[in-house]
Structure 1
Amino acid sequence: MKRIFLLACLAVAFQLTSFGQLRIPHVLSDNMVLQRNTKANIWGWGYASVEVAIKASWLDDTVKTKVDGGGRWMAELPTTQAGGPYELEILSAGSKITLHNILLGDVWLCSGQSNMEWGGNQQLPEILDELPGANDHQIRLLQVSRTAADYPQDDIPNSWQTLSAESLKPFSAIGYFIAKKLRAELDVPIGIINASWGGTPAEVWTPSYLIENDSELGHLEAMLNPSQHWPTEAGVLWNSMIRPLTPFVLSGFYWYQGESNVGTWWGYDKLMRTMVTSWRMAWNSELPFYFVQIAPFAYGNEKPLAALLREQQDKTAKILPNTGMVVVSDLVDNVKDIHPTQKREVANRLAAIALHEHYGLNNGKDYRSPLYSGYKAQGKTITISFDYLENGLQVVGDRITDLYIAGADRIFHEAVGTIKGNELIVSSPAVNAPMAVRFGFTETAMPNLFNTNGLPVAPFRTDNWGL
């Protein structure tokens, strides 16, 4: 009995020691990129009230903090201009953790559903072509495992990796091409975190209390169809795939999602504003949020629900500060495939907004797709004006496609569009007193109207009539 009692005491002592010993989360690892020119958070767990000392090879001074009564600690570590590789030592109560091959640069978080998630494992040709030359060690990747949790988590099971064919193949194609573009333009190390899960609605990426305490958002969540392949419960991926990352200092977010919310399109703008605001609050910063408008796809709905969701995304881009929307209506080869294979150009368009608006590199105008801003009906024509348009419009082909006009009877007729500077003049012989215009306002439309920089005009309608 004495031996059993002694073994039990030793087991308890071992558990207390292992829980109290110095630990850090997996996001702090070898090969990581820390945000340059800021105060990066370094955090973890240890013995209560014990001092923690942090030594960074790019600093002369040692940063010190204390473990609180709950066994947690955090320190702000000054970072300098881009560079590396560096080492980081964390010491406490006789324990030491050393991290190697650290770079100082810019870190971006990519999230969403399958069009953000997909890469070489899905045999995307653009990524397969990249694999043999994937050797830029100034690009670092962090792939967050798919896992859901009912309660907020403190850690993920994944660590940073250097770029290689092995690490790139399962990674987000869009995330990688963003990193490659930013590297080429900025010449600084880039870290990309991919936390995506195909098929997921936006509710799962939003803290659950924000959904449950809002009657409209709660009703929309209840309308989601359960799936055996992805979670649909509010907050469960926020808890496990986003929340553990929130102390890690970022440059901003990239987002590609919306297909799984088409059936509840009318609440999508509110849902996105709620989600983005919650993320910014969690990071305690008004970080930029750049996203992709969903692509043309034959959903098979009786009404153009996907067009209505795109309209909601357009609304978010106009209302929510420090956001930017990329339009991809010209990058689809097959409207029966919900996964367009062209990811490089999507990434380049996302990166272009960041390069202009976040980094202040003014490499030309019209780096965003034009967004409908207003109309004026006069006589037999309607004149359409646009935001984010300075150098005019162009048509690829003989005439503008997917353009319709209607009068008081609300019957839409195919229309003729004429470009006049930064405006579009719309008319039809069948409509003498026009009242409304719709452009690309179907689920599968791939119109041929662009700015002079080759970016497609976002679909729009001037009316709010029922469909």
Structure 2
Amino acid sequence: MMKNTSITTLFVFLLFNIAIAYSQELRPSNLFCDNMVLQHGVSVPVWGTAKPNEKITVKFANQRTTTKSGKDGRWMVKLAPLQASKTPREMIISGNTEIVLSNVVVGEVWICSGQSNMQFSAANVPELKALLPTAENIRSFEVKRTVSFKEEEDVSGNWAVIPPSSAVAFGFAYFLEKAEEIPIGIIHASWGSSSIEAWMPRDMAKEFSYFKDIMEALDADTSTRDRISASLDSPEGWSNKEDIFMRRQPNILYNAMIKPLAPYACSGLIWYQGERNTRYISGVPEVSEANWYHRVIGINEYGDVLKSWVKRYRKEWKNNKMHFAIVMLPGYGKGTSNNPDIDPQSPTALSWAWMRESQLKVLDLPYTSVANTIDLGDVTNIHPKDKLPVGQRLALLAEKYVLNKDVVAEGPVLKEVKTQNNALIIHFNNAKGLKTIDGNAPSGFWICDESLQWKVAEAKLEGESVVISNDKISRPRYVRYAFAGKPNVNLVNGSNLPAYPFRTDKEIPTEE
């Protein structure tokens, strides 16, 4: 009996050591595989694992870079900036063994992340589906939707010579490729109904006490952790109910789906998220069994969290110029959880107007942009199908702010408001060719005096300005434009790009 036990122990020991040796074989991160797109114009990190102190050489595009793996087996080299090229080439990674990655091109790489409107399939948008046959030079890496309680070293997925599944990501890639005629690589990492908290690194708890509370609650919630672990370990996969349960948790999407992507060289990240954080105007609600998934920050605070989140991601990528393009939430006719039934054109209702204002705070940071969608959306459907213009506008923003092209990428933006008798004259930037898309008078303007009793404004165009008034207001003071859940708007510039929503008063919204 003792002899058999010893043999068994020895066998297990040998298997264990074989597994360790195998795990230490030369291997790049999963991001580096056949069909990948490398970012042009910047230093390109390439990394992976190998046996400790193994000499590693990476060869690509007439470059040869060598390093040694560390004591933990990790290694990284950095290729000098590459020129964009559609010509497929091989990357050779060698150490004690050799790995050849084929069909590698160089172009624009972008990460596309967020919740359901980023996940929304191109196949469900007829206008985008019709473009699929003419799509060229677009490749995608679809990040597997999963979670982890710890920050992962690698990600599940692979590069493929097909457009991304996401409608917004595909539209963006399609129009950017048509404009630049270089390869476009999209890393798509989104998951429906996820909050910004789901994509936040744990260490952001040092900056935001509410997030610290949320993370401590998750750490102490053994039933939730056991439930998620059971789903992850299930050989049959998990049900839709469990899928929803996991993706509505804080931090664990970041751990599994974003952390392993850094520092893959890219131009930036497109972020279409916010719907989940519109349930409350301010703060984090008391959590009960019925509303456990509301454990997220509200609209008022979202903008400040978003700015810190951008800075934290840039730190992860070691790239202070990494561009973040935010998709403004489009028109929608519902309010908050406490006040769901609203007038979708009211300038004072607790609507998505306040979230759009919060999103626009990101422009306080350099190397950011916001794609205006105020003319899009559906009053009753939180998942509108008009995704093609979103992709077009994101592509224009990338051309202007990342590729430094001389293009008009934004609609009119408030410059200043001046008082003239009983009217307000509104001046804009980006207003060349100011007009209305339907030829009617400008709509969506509201006006008030010090009483803050808002009235619909009569508006007219005067060159690149709009003059508004209301015969019941003799001393107008403030204006709100397109500041409603689903406003009726028609103001555009000569490039047919819509004017951005704004308000000039300083009221802070509160729940009734």
Superposition RMSD in Å: 2.4
Query: 2:421 — aligned with what?
Result: 379
- Write the distance in 2 (CA, Å) between the matches of 1:187 and 1:406: 49
Q: 2:497 aligns with which of 443, 455, 461?
A: 455
Query: 2:343 — aligned with what?
Result: none
**Which is worse superposed, 381-390 or 65-74?**
381-390
User: Secondary structure of the equivalent of 1:289?
Assistant: strand
User: Secondary structure of the equivalent of 2:79?
Assistant: strand
Query: 1:196 — aligned with what?
Result: 190
- How far off its partner does 1:8 sit? 2.4
Match status 1:336 vs 2:380: yes
Give the counterpart letter for 1:424 in structure 2: V
Alpha carbons of 1:204 and 1:241: their partners in 2 closer, same or farther (altered >3 Å)?
Answer: same
User: Secondary structure of the equivalent of 2:247?
Assistant: coil
Match status 1:276 vs 2:277: no
Give the counterpart letter for 1:428 in structure 2: N
User: Secondary structure of the equivalent of 1:76?
Assistant: strand
Q: CA contact under 8 A between 1:119 and 1:127: conserved in structure 2?
A: no
Query: 2:259 — aligned with what?
Result: 243
Give the counterpart letter for 2:270 in structure 1: Y
Q: CA contact under 8 A between 1:145 and 1:195: conserved in structure 2?
A: yes
- Write the distance in 2 (CA, Å) between the matches of 1:321 and 1:103: 29
Deviation per CA, 1:303-344: give whole Å up to 9, x if none.
323111111122322x11111111112233x31011121222
User: Secondary structure of the equivalent of 1:75?
Assistant: strand
- Write the distance in 2 (CA, Å) between the matches of 1:451 and 1:354: 19
- How far off its partner does 1:216 sit? 5.5
Match status 1:259 vs 2:258: no
- Write the distance in 2 (CA, Å) between the matches of 1:148 and 1:376: 52
Query: 1:396 — aligned with what?
Result: 438
- Write the distance in 1 (CA, Å) between the matches of 2:65 and 2:474: 74
Alpha carbons of 1:374 and 1:187: their partners in 2 closer, same or farther (altered >3 Å)?
Answer: same
- How far off its partner does 1:28 sit? 0.7
- Write the distance in 1 (CA, Å) between the matches of 2:69 and 2:333: 55
Query: 2:360 — aligned with what?
Result: 314
Q: CA contact under 8 A between 1:304 and 1:441: conserved in structure 2?
A: no
Query: 1:99 — aligned with what?
Result: 101
User: Secondary structure of the equivalent of 1:48?
Assistant: coil
TM-score normalised to the size of structure 1?
Answer: 0.90
Q: How does 1:156-167 map to 2 (within 5 A)?
A: 156-163=155-162
Give the counterpart letter for 2:142 in structure 1: Q
Query: 2:130 — aligned with what?
Result: 129
User: Secondary structure of the equivalent of 2:417?
Assistant: strand
Match status 1:183 vs 2:187: no
Q: How does 1:21-32 map to 2 (within 5 A)?
A: 21-32=25-36
Query: 1:86 — aligned with what?
Result: 89
User: Secondary structure of the equivalent of 1:80?
Assistant: coil
Query: 1:148 — aligned with what?
Result: 147
* Gap runs ≥5 in structure 2: 219-223, 225-240, 281-297, 340-348
Q: 2:456 aligns with which of 414, 428, 434?
A: 414
- How far off its partner does 1:12 sit? 2.2
Alpha carbons of 1:37 and 1:432: their partners in 2 closer, same or farther (altered >3 Å)?
Answer: closer
Aligned residues: 451
Alpha carbons of 1:68 and 1:184: their partners in 2 closer, same or farther (altered >3 Å)?
Answer: same
Alpha carbons of 1:42 and 1:52: their partners in 2 closer, same or farther (altered >3 Å)?
Answer: same
- How far off its partner does 1:354 sit? 1.3
Give the counterpart letter for 1:186 in structure 2: E
Alpha carbons of 1:378 and 1:219: their partners in 2 closer, same or farther (altered >3 Å)?
Answer: farther
- How far off its partner does 1:446 sit? 3.1
User: Secondary structure of the equivalent of 1:441?
Assistant: coil
- Write the distance in 1 (CA, Å) between the matches of 2:302 and 2:212: 12
- How far off its partner does 1:217 sit? 5.5
Deviation per CA, 1:48-83: give whole Å up to 9, x if none.
111112222x21x53211010111010112353222
User: Secondary structure of the equivalent of 1:73?
Assistant: strand
- How far off its partner does 1:207 sit? 1.3
- Write the distance in 2 (CA, Å) between the matches of 1:134 and 1:150: 41
Give the counterpart letter for 1:292 in structure 2: V
- How far off its partner does 1:223 sit? 12
User: Secondary structure of the equivalent of 1:426?
Assistant: strand
Q: CA contact under 8 A between 2:109 and 2:266: conserved in structure 1?
A: yes
Alpha carbons of 1:120 and 1:21: their partners in 2 closer, same or farther (altered >3 Å)?
Answer: same
Q: 2:325 aligns with which of 290, 299, 310?
A: 290
- How far off its partner does 1:178 sit? 1.4
Give the counterpart letter for 2:299 in structure 1: W
Alpha carbons of 1:90 and 1:105: their partners in 2 closer, same or farther (altered >3 Å)?
Answer: same
Q: CA contact under 8 A between 1:203 and 1:271: conserved in structure 2?
A: no
- How far off its partner does 1:174 sit? 1.4
- Write the distance in 1 (CA, Å) between the matches of 2:125 and 2:27: 38
- Write the distance in 1 (CA, Å) between the matches of 2:168 and 2:100: 32
- How far off its partner does 1:211 sit? 3.4
Alpha carbons of 1:51 and 1:212: their partners in 2 closer, same or farther (altered >3 Å)?
Answer: same
- Write the distance in 1 (CA, Å) between the matches of 2:357 and 2:430: 17
Give the counterpart letter for 1:330 in structure 2: D
Deviation per CA, 1:339-389: give whole Å up to 9, x if none.
1212221111111111122112214x4x20222233223421112233333
Percent identity over paired residues: 29
Deviation per CA, 1:146-199: give whole Å up to 9, x if none.
112222111111010012xxx65xx11111121121211111111111111111
User: Secondary structure of the equivalent of 1:191?
Assistant: strand
Alpha carbons of 1:9 and 1:150: their partners in 2 closer, same or farther (altered >3 Å)?
Answer: closer
- How far off its partner does 1:401 sit? 2.1
Q: CA contact under 8 A between 2:201 and 2:254: conserved in structure 1?
A: yes
Query: 1:345 — aligned with what?
Result: 389
